[in-house]
Amino acid sequence: MKIVVTGGAGFIGANLCKELSRLPEVSHILVLDDLSSGSLANLRDTRVDFVQGSILDRSLLGEVMRGADAAVHLAARPSVAMSVDDPEGSHDVNASGTLRVLEACRAVGAYAVTASSCSVYGDSAENPKHEGLPTRPVSPYGAGKLAAEAYTLSYAASFNMRTLALRFFNVYGPFQPADHAYAAVIPAFIDAALRGDPLRIYGDGLQTRDFTFAETVVSVLIDAVMREVTSDTPVNVAHGVQVSLLELARELGQVMDRPLEVRHAPPRKGDIRDSRASCERLRRLFPDIAPVSLDVGLQRTVSWFEQPMVAGSGRSQ
């Protein structure tokens, strides 16, 4: 079985490729990545064939998809802030890029699973967020992801393709970088704790998130590809666990076996207050997937950050 992973050198992609490399039924894993935010070093423990290039390159996409049974489409400009700075660039990769990947899948009859995001819900106060809620993206990133999932579903309806659009919530785990201004909260907390710095919380810390360990996301992606799971609506990927940032800091302190100092900074504009997923659809489609709990996921993430290779490189990859 040949699987193409776009954006495979990034955080979620690297976790996926590592796991795919262990599966004997997967004979060929091909990663297409332009390395704009990913790194080749993330793929060192895998058996992937790596092609450096953009999903916007039609002929390259055609080549990499030749003979493919499935594509896991993760390549994106994943930052809300970057999308505000450069909306067209974000649209090109996240929306038009997805369309190109779907076209390349269609040409070879491959199954396609694409990564959307909880950002499509915007700042709706309703929780849990179920897939039937109106979508109201408040950033070009969210709008691009909404277009990406709409194209994914429309290709199933128009061309009888087998597709799945997954809305990831806050994913964390190994390979997630901590060294940039918009780092996700868990790597930022772990990085600060390992340096002995206080954990910075924007606002009162009572804002909540639904964190999903990367291993859980990878299990969903692999199960999706192996069974060619489809849905004519998008599917949330999270398990409905609401954790405030203050609780997260306490949990991390327990995992690291010491209390961690928290320092509050003014709230950030545009930050969503509460985000919790409804996971009924996910459980129905993926009944065998049990999520990794927050304490176990944090332990594994901290262990990864403590590896000399990661710590020695300033925890960047």
Catalytic residue numbers read 141
Options 3, 4, 5, 12; binder of ligand NAD; rule CB under 6 A: 12
Q: Does residue 76 touch ligand NAD according to CB under 6 A?
A: yes
Pair type for strands 211-213 and 111-117: unpaired
36 binds ligand NAD (CB under 6 A): yes
Which residue, 49 or 261, is less far from ligand NAD as judged by CB?
A: 49
Residue of the chain from 3, 74, 102, 235 that contacts ligand NAD (CB under 6 A): 74
Mapped onto helix, strand or coil, the DSSP state of residue 298 is helix
Instruction: Closer to ligand NAD by CB, 24 or 231: give it.
Output: 231
Strands (E) located in the chain: 2-6, 28-33, 49-52, 70-73, 111-117, 163-168, 170-172, 199-202, 208-209, 211-213, 235-237, 243-244, 262-265
| 164 makes contact with ligand NAD (CB under 6 A) | no
235 binds ligand NAD (CB under 6 A): no
Q: How far apart are CA 38 and CA 172, in angstroms?
A: 15
Residue 11 touching ligand NAD (CB under 6 A)? yes
Under the criterion CB under 6 A, does residue 171 sit at the interface with ligand NAD?
yes
Token couple for 215: 């291993």
d(CA 299, CA 40): 25
Residue 303 CA to residue 307 CA, distance in Å, equals 7
When the beta carbons of 93 and 161 are compared against ligand NAD, the nearer one is 93
CB of 55 to ligand NAD, least distance (A): 4
Applying CB under 6 A, among 78, 173, 240, 291 the residue interacting with ligand NAD is 78
| Identified binder of ligand NAD from the candidate list 22, 35, 157, 307, rule CB under 6 A | 35
Contact call for residue 37 and ligand NAD (CB under 6 A): yes
Q: How far is CA 201 from CA 186, 246, 255, 256, in A?
A: 11, 8, 19, 18
DSSP per position, 214-233: HHHHHHHHHHHHHHT---SS
CB of 158 to ligand NAD, least distance (A): 22
Of 55, 112, 199, 255, the residue at the interface with ligand NAD (CB under 6 A) is 55
Tokens of 286: 């993926």
Burial 180-200, CB ≥16 within 10 A → b, else e? eeeebbbbbbbbbbbeeeebe
How many CA atoms lie less than 13 Å away from 45 in the CB half-sphere? 11
Query: Judged by CB under 6 A, does residue 97 bind ligand NAD?
Result: yes
301 sits near ligand NAD (criterion: CB under 6 A):
no
Q: Give the Cα separation of 94 and 298 in Å (integer).
A: 29
The answer to whether residue 13 forms part of the interface with ligand NAD (CB under 6 A) is yes
Touching ligand NAD, residues 104-133 (CB under 6 A):
115, 117
Nearer residue to ligand NAD within complex by CB, 17 or 260: 17
> Is residue 64 close enough to count as binding ligand NAD by CB under 6 A?
no
Residues 161, 112 contacting (CB under 8 angstroms)? yes
Q: Does 83 bind ligand NAD (CB under 6 A)?
A: no
Tokens 């901290």: give the residue. 302
Q: Which positions lie near ligand NAD, rule CB under 6 A?
A: 6-7, 9-13, 32-38, 54-56, 74-78, 93, 97, 115, 117, 168, 170-171
